[in-house]
Chains A and B, each alone.
Chain A
Amino acid sequence: MNAVLSISSLCKSFGTVKVADAISFDVPMGQSLGIIGPNGAGKTSLFNLITGTLRADSGSIKYQGIDVSTNNSATRCRAGIARSFQIPQPFTAMSVFENVLVGATQGAGLTQREAETVCLEILTQTGLVSRANDLAGALTLLERKRLELARALAANPKLLLLDEIAGGLTENECQSLVATINDIKSSGITIIWIEHIVHALLAVVDRLIVIDFGQMIADGKPKPIMNSRQVREIYMGLDADA
């Protein structure tokens, strides 16, 4: 089987709130998967479970056929699972270049020399090269989102998780980000992308999963799912008879 990620019966609760309720799905190599759902549906929690920021109550997470459920996030990152955070988490007192260098030396395990070259390439690719020497704390929102992406890429992922990376951006900013993500997709990296800005998402993904109250309620080709009555009711907040 060529699934990069294989999740089965994944459960996680905080008290009485189930953020993941028996979630199961496989992600084949090279696929771009979009995840949508209302706020509080458990999308970011799912990312936290996949990356190891949270531990599941039950169920398994297999990455390239190996169960990684008990590994910490650092181990999973070095194995090839990298993420961007919904709320950017820059190393504020380090330069943009150094932020990316952390991903390249720690996540991808490159030597200092190799890492420097890779980081400059990634900064060029993500449009941050002119900001290389500036402190990450001084970046604008778009630049912070790009830095999230750049750092995750520097870790040399096989599976890239993007958490609302287009949220809060202007239309133009959003379009250029979509172009960058499409480049990453065509380089063969498997992508899972949580996004509320549906048109940005649909410009990239081949498959869509809908989550609500910790449960997967739809999974399939983006178009039919977006048009399905169930999704329109739950996700778009439309009335059943609309």
Chain B
Amino acid sequence: MSARVTRSSRSSRAFAIIAGCAVVILIAAPWWAGRADMRLFSEIFLYLSLACLWNLLAGYAGLVSVGQQAFVGFGGYVLFGLAIFWGVSPLFALPIIAILGVLVAVPVAALIFRLRGAYFAIGTWVVAEIFRLLASQISALGGGSGTSLPVSVVKSIASSRATRESVVYWTALALAILVIITTVFVLRSRKGLALTAIRDNELAAGSLGVEIWQTKFIVYVLTAGLTSAIGALIFLQKIRITPDAAFSVNDWTAFVIFMVVIGGIGTLEGPIIGTLIFFVLRETLADLGTIYLMILGLVAIAIMLFAPKGVWGYVKSRYGIELFPITHRVKFEEE
């Protein structure tokens, strides 16, 4: 009897084809979708990216951060700063912002990695609040009341509004695809196996040669960099930034946690499903006002009670399918 190891499955191959088609259709959105739809799609892509990254952080590395708004806001403010002070084109600024996000995350990680569990979570939030207070001190960027992106900078993306919105839309789509491909790539690598081991049992992972601190550090700074780029794009779309909007724990962390937990934390598919569920709920219930938030809360409670591993966790344990080729399967062949 011989055996070989595969990672793709029928479901993952089928999903790859469906995802490929979906991407083509989404790239063509400017020709078939309305302006409002495209704004909504961009928002979905950006939230999808935030959810995938938070999942990598909390679901895999066990770093339950409630302070990712620090990097969303950082990205937004750096974009405005680069554009207003040095006239850097916003799209060109994105990779710079990602690198700056990584650099800022290094000392932050060195500081908050001393904290464990709930203390770590509170620590990340405190850091985000410090970022917010610092941003409100920059008077050249409007201090506490914020500022808008100069018209000249906005026009540098594209002169017509329609083209500009298409460019922002495509960038958001590209960023979401980049984030998903990066997480798939990371999880398929040796470090990804180490990360998955940390997710399941830190003590055992350490005893089998996994460098826990180093692995968590890499995940933290990598997600910080990408989160900063997403933050920049969020506020490029809004064209206006204030410290309260940029460093909002509700918008950039609480909703994201909702998506990941509802969809299924610690799986790649979970955040994607969770983001879709969130937006379906929001778009159908938003007219109800505050009742909408109460329904979100009820959905969260119901999922935690009846499917604590989230929607995808339930599907996976019931049907054993996965959409991304991550896990190893041994196939035995009779000779």
Which of the candidate stretches A62-70, A75-83, A217-225, A229-237 sits at the interface with the other chain? A75-83
- The reply to whether A98 and B212 form a contact with Cβ atoms under 8 Å apart is no
Q: Does A107 contact B (CB under 8 A)?
A: yes
Q: Which of A93, A107, A109 has the most CB of B within 10 A?
A: A93
Residue-by-residue, is A87-100 near B (CB-CB < 8 Å gives 1, otherwise 0)? 00111111101100
**B211: chain A residues within 8 A (beta carbon):** 72, 74-75
Q: Does B293 contact A (CB under 8 A)?
A: no
**B209: chain A residues within 8 A (beta carbon):** 74, 77-78, 103, 106-109, 155
Which of the candidate stretches B67-75, B132-140, B200-208, B272-280 sits at the interface with the other chain? B200-208
**A89: chain B residues within 8 A (beta carbon):** 201, 203-204, 207
- Which single residue of chain B is at the shortest CB-CB distance from A130? B332
- The reply to whether B194 and A102 form a contact with Cβ atoms under 8 Å apart is yes
Chain A interface, DSSP helix/strand/loop, else mixed: helix
Q: Does B3 contact A (CB under 8 A)?
A: yes
Q: How far is the CA of A74 from the CA of B212 in the complex (A)?
A: 8
- The reply to whether A91 and B327 form a contact with Cβ atoms under 8 Å apart is no
Contacts of A90-130 to chain B: CB distance below 8 A: 90-95, 97-98, 101-103, 105-109, 112, 116, 120
- The reply to whether B193 and A105 form a contact with Cβ atoms under 8 Å apart is yes
- The reply to whether A132 and B330 form a contact with Cβ atoms under 8 Å apart is yes
Q: Does B328 contact A (CB under 8 A)?
A: yes
- The reply to whether A98 and B203 form a contact with Cβ atoms under 8 Å apart is no
- The reply to whether A102 and B197 form a contact with Cβ atoms under 8 Å apart is yes
**A152: chain B residues within 8 A (beta carbon):** 208
The number of residues on chain A lying at the interface, defined by a beta carbon within 8 Å of a beta carbon of chain B, is 37
Asked whether A91 and B194 contact (CB < 8 A) given A82-B208, A107-B209, A133-B329, the answer is no
| Interface range, B side | 20 to 34
Q: Which of B199, B207, B212 has the most CB of A within 10 A?
A: B207
B315 nearest CB across to chain A (Å): 14
Q: Which of A95, A106, A107 has the most CB of B within 10 A?
A: A106
Residue-by-residue, is B164-191 near A (CB-CB < 8 Å gives 1, otherwise 0)? 0000000000000000000000000010
- The reply to whether A91 and B330 form a contact with Cβ atoms under 8 Å apart is no
Q: Does A213 contact B (CB under 8 A)?
A: no
Q: Does B210 contact A (CB under 8 A)?
A: yes
**A109: chain B residues within 8 A (beta carbon):** 209
Q: Does A85 contact B (CB under 8 A)?
A: yes
- The reply to whether A92 and B201 form a contact with Cβ atoms under 8 Å apart is yes
Q: Does B62 contact A (CB under 8 A)?
A: no
Q: How far is the CA of A83 from the CA of B205 in the complex (A)?
A: 12
Q: Does A51 contact B (CB under 8 A)?
A: yes
- The reply to whether A51 and B207 form a contact with Cβ atoms under 8 Å apart is yes
Asked whether A103 and B208 contact (CB < 8 A) given A91-B200, A94-B197, A112-B190, the answer is yes
Contacts of B277-335 to chain A: CB distance below 8 A: 327-330
Q: Which of B203, B206, B209, B328 has the most CB of A within 10 A?
A: B209
- The reply to whether B210 and A101 form a contact with Cβ atoms under 8 Å apart is no
**B223: chain A residues within 8 A (beta carbon):** none
Q: How far is the CA of A196 from the CA of B64 in the complex (A)?
A: 40
B23 nearest CB across to chain A (Å): 28
- The reply to whether B190 and A95 form a contact with Cβ atoms under 8 Å apart is no
- The reply to whether B328 and A101 form a contact with Cβ atoms under 8 Å apart is yes
**A73: chain B residues within 8 A (beta carbon):** 206-207
B121 nearest CB across to chain A (Å): 22
Residue-by-residue, is A198-211 near B (CB-CB < 8 Å gives 1, otherwise 0)? 00000000000000
Q: Which of A91, A108, A109, A112 has the most CB of B within 10 A?
A: A91
Q: How far is the CA of A236 from the CA of B205 in the complex (A)?
A: 36
Q: Does A53 contact B (CB under 8 A)?
A: yes
**B3: chain A residues within 8 A (beta carbon):** 120, 132
- The reply to whether B5 and A91 form a contact with Cβ atoms under 8 Å apart is no
Q: How far is the CA of A93 from the CA of B201 in the complex (A)?
A: 10
Q: Which of A53, A72, A92, A98 has the most CB of B within 10 A?
A: A98
- Which single residue of chain A is at the shortest CB-CB distance from B188? A112
Q: How far is the CA of A103 from the CA of B210 in the complex (A)?
A: 9
Q: Does B266 contact A (CB under 8 A)?
A: yes
**A146: chain B residues within 8 A (beta carbon):** none
User: Which of A75, A120, A151 is close to B330, meaning CB atoms less than 8 Å apart?
Assistant: A120
Q: Which of A72, A74, A75, A77 has the most CB of B within 10 A?
A: A74
**A72: chain B residues within 8 A (beta carbon):** 206, 211
Q: How far is the CA of A90 from the CA of B199 in the complex (A)?
A: 11
Q: How far is the CA of A105 from the CA of B201 in the complex (A)?
A: 17
- The reply to whether B205 and A102 form a contact with Cβ atoms under 8 Å apart is yes
- Which single residue of chain A is at the shortest CB-CB distance from B331? A133
- The reply to whether B204 and A85 form a contact with Cβ atoms under 8 Å apart is yes
18 CB-based A-B contacts, threshold 8 Å: A53-B207, A72-B211, A73-B206, A73-B207, A74-B206, A74-B210, A82-B207, A85-B204, A85-B207, A89-B201, A89-B204, A90-B200, A92-B201, A93-B200, A95-B328, A102-B194, A133-B329, A151-B208
B residues neighboring A (CB under 8 Å)? 3, 5, 190, 193-194, 196-197, 199-201, 203-212, 266, 327-330
Q: A102-B205, A106-B209 are in contact. List 16 more A-B contacts (CB 8 A).
A: A72-B211, A77-B209, A85-B207, A90-B200, A90-B201, A91-B197, A92-B200, A94-B200, A95-B327, A102-B197, A106-B190, A112-B190, A116-B5, A120-B330, A133-B329, A155-B209
Q: Which 4 residue pairs spanning A and B have beta carbons closest together?
A: A107-B209, A91-B200, A89-B204, A106-B209
